[in-house]
Chains A and B, each alone.
Chain A
């Protein structure tokens, strides 16, 4: 039994692009993956700077009950109700974490662990309660299935067929995130690095924080279908942390999420094609490999610096 298949470059790199049908199918998958990486990478940069990386993890777990409840109330996998339910649950999750932190003697990390695990447990129980007569797939939410993107129904508006709907939704969310981030860039920047100064010049720090949480919930929910609950945190953290080994300034890091998104998607796609495993997991593995390489060889890496200093 060969657990790791033989690596055949022509099979891995050219076979997915051999025929027009395959190209049409796979380019949709790639585009979806890229949109997910880019959108989460943009939001993730601010999340990492604010030292809230695990908040992304917490929120991505916490939206599970929201999705299930939306599914139970509307009875379908429509995008609108799902997004609404998930955003509400994500906000509820982040509110509860902050409330616990402020109104009880529980530490920040413990309150995070308490809230998101309870939300997640609630979600899993709700799914299991309905397991008999609903086809909400736990695996799909937990691991995501980006390879099935082309199967989504087409977006038909006014009699015209505009193509794949989930691509449209993800594209719109990605565009919204980019526009919002560039519009409110200054606000996000200052509140991330010096919240006290921002407060003293009269900016609504709390509202900006809330706005970022909303962006986080939005990008998490949107990428959920393709990468799943747990790997969302990989897409949030890896791009900006990897970029920080190459660039010092925030705008460069933000721009760097674009090529990194492309790299992750193509790398992950071909890795998954080679190993025949989950594409989302392969994307996260590619991201970790890129991260390890940049830790070792990145120009701003700490190892690099100490090595340079030694001879002098």
Chain B
């Protein structure tokens, strides 16, 4: 467990170090004014980039939620690599960096990649992950080969092609914005009109087939939309990191959302938020590419939500376990106190720490701490005993309060009832039941205890012949100790 903490701590620290570094790098430019410039959005180039990142985040988040629920994450990754040869061919065809032909080339290559995957699935028995790896690397190698060829042949304007690897925000044209906008429009229209069908095909394909929904067609349209989304986002985040934008915001949303509609909304919001803040940081840092920063911001968001989300977050789980553990310790101490009093025949009220140490088999500081915990919880009061016959210098003496006494009785009752239940109903040997009862006594609810009591006809003694304090006795205070 510690390893993980270190790994993630390292990740967090290194990313915060990154942010610090960017600010440091832009210090001579006065980053406050830079930030102001970004927030005011007066600069048309800033507005364009921010708009692009926003649109990309929204569309990637929307389509990404289907990618994640249908387990297509690595498919998105493969697709984003597979468009590379298409870009190269589009470039050769147009002879220059014309966005339209590049997009068409990328679209065709993406389509070919999907076809290859289908063919491999149909005609071979290769596992899905291997076929994804095969298509990914084959297409990517072809793309690299073509790109190096382009560089060797020496087209004039090939420098722009590099931007497709990691994205280049500064080269974002209004054409790209239009492309992003159209993609977003297509995706939202598709989702709005096919929301129910997508839901059914995604979660229960058999049923949806039986009610006549065209599963394969929807799946194919979804693939094509993913390809569109990948292609239109290339200019912003680049080939390799597009798949991150498809997966991370949607995965973040999946930690929070219970229903598909909230899921879609949250995921697109996370995508848009990461897009905007990523561009903001890259603007602060000047020389930093926006794509990786957008991805880093969304990864950070994912980590934060993973640790701090309500109910199931790691932090809450950890706190819960801790409080649960301390409750069990308190209950064990109370039970020990009851047993000590019982041994003395309920004649005294005081329990010394030495007795608890003997009973629980713990060291003195541990017992002192337990007594302190009981006192803070208002279940006991403590005193320092006068020095007397015992060899210990001055030991703590504890007296249970009425509330603590009731609690202790309840615990002992749970324990002994369960032991009796096991011997009578489950036919355990009496010497086997203690371990089991030790565990279950902390989780038995009042209702279950009543049921067991009724089943065993309000018993008075447990299999070891000891007293079971009954609930009426506890409430009326007719207990040996209290009387």
Residues of A within 8 A of B (CB): 1, 3, 48, 51-54, 56-57, 61, 65, 69, 92, 95-96, 99, 103-107, 109-114, 117-118, 120-122, 124-126, 128-129, 131-132, 142-143, 230-231, 233-234, 236-238, 241, 244, 275-278, 280-285, 287-288, 291, 295, 301-303
Contact = CB atoms under 8 A, between A and B. Distances in A.
Contact of B71 (A107, A230, A285): A107
Contacts of B142: 281, 285, 288
9 contacts: A54-B77, A57-B133, A118-B299, A121-B292, A121-B296, A125-B289, A142-B165, A233-B136, A303-B123
Most chain A beta carbons < 10 A, residue from B130, B146, B292, B314: B130
A112 B72 CA distance: 12
Nearest to B76: A113
Contacts, number: 212
Given A3-B153, A124-B289, A288-B138, A105 B74 contact: no
Interface residues of B, number: 71
Nearest to A272: B145
Interface in B114-134: 120, 123-127, 129-130, 132-134
B262 interface: no
Contact of B241 (A120, A230, A283, A291): A120
Interface of B: 3-4, 7-8, 10-11, 14-15, 18, 21-22, 25, 68, 71-74, 76-77, 81, 92, 120, 123-127, 129-130, 132-134, 136-138, 140-142, 144-146, 148-149, 152-153, 165-166, 240-241, 243-244, 246-248, 250-251, 254-255, 285, 287-289, 291-293, 295-296, 299, 302, 306, 314
Contacts of A282: 141, 145
Which of B92, B134, B293 has the most chain A CB within a 10 Å cutoff?
B134
Contacts of B288: 125, 128-129
A125 B148 CA distance: 24
Contacts of B4: 95-96, 99, 103
A103 B134 contact: no
A233 to B, nearest CB: 5
Contacts of A118: 11, 244, 248, 295-296, 299
Given A3-B149, A276-B149, A288-B141, A104 B241 contact: no
Given A107-B71, A126-B18, A129-B18, A61 B240 contact: yes
A241 B134 contact: yes
A52 B74 CA distance: 12
Given A96-B8, A281-B144, A301-B124, A114 B302 contact: yes
B241 A121 contact: yes
A167 B422 CA distance: 71
List the 8 shortest-distance A-B pairs measured between CB atoms, nearest first: A284-B141, A117-B244, A234-B137, A118-B299, A288-B138, A121-B295, A121-B292, A281-B144
Contacts of A111: 251
Contacts of A117: 77, 240-241, 243-244, 247-248, 295, 299
Nearest to B81: A230
B124 A51 contact: no
B101 to A, nearest CB: 16
Contacts of A124: 166, 241, 289, 291-292
A287 B133 CA distance: 13
B132 A54 contact: yes
A238 B240 CA distance: 21
Main secondary structure of the interface of A (DSSP, over half): helix
Contacts of B296: 118, 121-122, 125
Nearest to B281: A125
A105 B255 contact: yes
Given A107-B68, A129-B22, A237-B137, A114 B92 contact: no
Contacts of B243: 113, 117
Contacts of B126: 241, 244
Q: Which of B72, B129, B251 counts the most chain A CB atoms within 10 A? A: B129
Given A54-B77, A112-B74, A241-B130, 16 more contacts: A48-B127, A57-B136, A92-B7, A113-B243, A117-B247, A121-B244, A122-B15, A124-B292, A128-B287, A143-B144, A281-B141, A284-B141, A285-B138, A288-B134, A291-B138, A295-B123
B250 to A, nearest CB: 8
B133 A56 contact: yes
A238 B126 CA distance: 11
A84 B409 CA distance: 60
A39 B296 CA distance: 33
A155 B25 CA distance: 39
Contacts of A241: 126, 130, 134
A285 B141 contact: yes
A224 B129 CA distance: 22
A282 B140 CA distance: 11
A106 B72 CA distance: 13
Contacts of B18: 122, 125-126, 129
A99 B124 CA distance: 33
Q: Which of B74, B133, B152, B299 has the most CB of A within 10 A?
A: B133
Given A121-B244, A122-B15, A230-B81, A128 B251 contact: no
Nearest to A4: B149
A291 B126 CA distance: 12
Contacts of A96: 4, 7-8, 11
A54 to B, nearest CB: 5
Contacts of B248: 113-114, 117-118
Contacts of A230: 81, 137, 140, 240
A230 B166 CA distance: 14
A104 B255 contact: yes
A51 B219 CA distance: 24
Contacts of A69: 14
A69 B13 CA distance: 13
B140 A110 contact: no
Given A121-B292, A233-B136, A285-B141, A276 B152 contact: yes
Contact of A125 (B7, B141, B146, B293): B293
Contact of B292 (A106, A128, A142): A128
A109 B73 contact: yes
Contacts of A104: 255, 306
Contacts of A1: 153
B240 A120 contact: yes
B153 A231 contact: no
A113 B92 contact: no
A133 to B, nearest CB: 12
Contacts of B153: 1, 3
- A113, A281, A301 pick with most chain B CB within 10 angstroms: A113
Nearest to B125: A302
A110 B141 CA distance: 24
Nearest to B120: A295
Given A52-B129, A278-B144, A285-B141, A122 B134 contact: no
Nearest to B7: A92
B133 A54 contact: yes
A223 B100 CA distance: 37
A291 B131 CA distance: 11
Contacts of A105: 254-255
